[in-house]
Amino acid sequence: MMNGSADRNFCTLKFLFGVTAHKGYFIIRQHQTLPWQASDDFRLVGENDSGMVFEQNIIMKC
């Protein structure tokens, strides 16, 4: 399984779709050129030194 993170300024849809095609996961900050739609609400998943951590599932569009 491929897991990782990415820089939102260098992400490409081909790379992100490749990760999901291999049943992988990724964490990425929102970028205005990444076409997506929320598929659920944010949910609290933990805390770190700077505050609370939330996650949300999305659907990416080509």
pTM of the model: 0.58
In this model, does residue 16 exceed pLDDT 90? no
DSSP 16: H
DSSP 50: T
Is residue 60 a contact partner of residue 35, using CB atoms and an 8 Å limit? yes
CA distances from 47 to 8, 12, 19, 53 (A): 22, 29, 26, 5
Residues 6+ apart with CB under 8 A from 14: none
pLDDT at position 5 is: 59
